[in-house]
Amino acid sequence: MPPLAALAVAVVAVSTSAILIRWSHAPSSVAAFYRVLFTTVLLAPFAVVRYRQQFAHLSTRDWLVAVASGLALAAHFAAWFESLAWTSVAASVTLVQTQPVFVAVGAVWLLGERLNRPMALGIAVALVGSVLLSVGDFLSGGAFAGANPLYGNTLALLGALAAAGYVLAGRSLRQRLPLVPYVIVVYTVSAAGLLAWTVGQGASLGPYPPREWLLFLGMAVGPGIFGHTVVNWALAHVESSVVSVTLVGEPVGSTLLALVLLGEVPAAMTAVGGGVVLAGIVLTARSRPSPG
């Protein structure tokens, strides 16, 4: 499949994630754990058969990097899944997609990349949009009864920050490892971190009705394999800036699905703020130099 077509499939797949999470009645930590666990289990046989030798060559440093990356990914899922219980799908998915902005800032501070003017402008635009979006969600009283949009939006931003840490921590390892061994190692660590978080919260790992297990599996197959795993594959064939810009389609797709399937109509200022955030993400992503 051509890389751009694969990216289109990935955007559709990841757009379903927030809807599947909302449909689940399980605690957010449990849903996050089973999503990562099932994704790992589905990919593991392929990894063992085809890439067994790759695992044997991982150094101690590689494992430390994998642990850091996997724990950051676990924090991303824990924060973002929980955010969807408190704020609208439109706000949560848009704010968690500010990851490229945090990656750009982190690359300047940690990797010595230069912050050019378009990048600085993109970061500023995304920040302004985030404020507008959060104010709009707050003034609307939340998208559903009992919502706390300020808390939910904060969790979504923390999820974006953690996702940026996952990208930055795992970048060097991803350059040395093929896709499948890389995601197996990182997803395994992430699943272990989410399991510890779930048990620490006292949440039950089961039993759940068949509907919940189907939703967990759907999260793994759709957003997990056809979504994020395909995105990781595309990064080897398409510039990272193109991939980052393409992924801004997720908030649009998720918002439309939430409108149709959940009856969530975003407030006017939420929609405006979301548009400004997406513009800032696009500008930041397109202005970043490709990693050499």
Rounded Cα gap, residues 251 and 155, in angstroms: 16
pLDDT, tens digit (0-9, with 9 covering 90-100), for 51-107: 888 777 778 888 888 899 999 999 999 999 999 999 888 889 888 988 878 887 887
What is the percent of the chain with per-residue pLDDT over 90, rounded to a whole number?
36
Residue 102 lies in a domain: yes
Residue 292 lies in a domain: no
Residue 223 lies in a domain: yes
- Quick one: tokens of 253? 């797709």
Lowest mean pLDDT among 31-40, 147-156, 270-279: 270-279
* pLDDT band for position 30 (cuts 50, 70, 90): very high
Asked if the model's pLDDT at residue 136 lies above 80, the reply is no
Asked if the model's pLDDT at residue 292 lies above 60, the reply is no
Residues in the chain: 292
pLDDT given for residue 14 in this prediction: 93
pTM of the entire predicted model: 0.86
CB 4 within 8 A of CB 239: no
Higher pLDDT, 136 or 52: 52
Higher pLDDT, 27 or 100: 27
Asked if the model's pLDDT at residue 166 lies above 70, the reply is yes
Domain assignment of residue 241, given as a range:
3-287
Nearest alpha carbon to residue 195 among 21, 74, 88: 74
Helix (H/G/I), strand (E/B), else coil: 185: helix
pLDDT given for residue 85 in this prediction: 92
Which strand (E) or helix (H) includes residue 257?
A: helix 249-257
pLDDT, tens digit (0-9, with 9 covering 90-100), for 213-232: 999 999 999 999 999 888 87
Q: Looking at residues 227-248, what average pLDDT do you find?
A: 76
pLDDT given for residue 138 in this prediction: 66
Lowest mean pLDDT among 114-118, 156-160, 183-187: 114-118
pLDDT, mean over the chain = 85
Residue 56 lies in a domain: yes
Q: Looking at residues 264-277, what average pLDDT do you find?
A: 82
Instruction: Count the domains in the chain.
Output: 1
Higher pLDDT, 61 or 161: 161
Asked if the model's pLDDT at residue 161 lies above 50, the reply is yes
Asked if the model's pLDDT at residue 119 lies above 70, the reply is yes
Residue 80 lies in a domain: yes
Note the maximum CA span of the chain: 55
Residue 59 lies in a domain: yes
Q: Looking at residues 134-161, what average pLDDT do you find?
A: 77
Higher pLDDT, 236 or 197: 197
- Quick one: tokens of 189? 């660590």
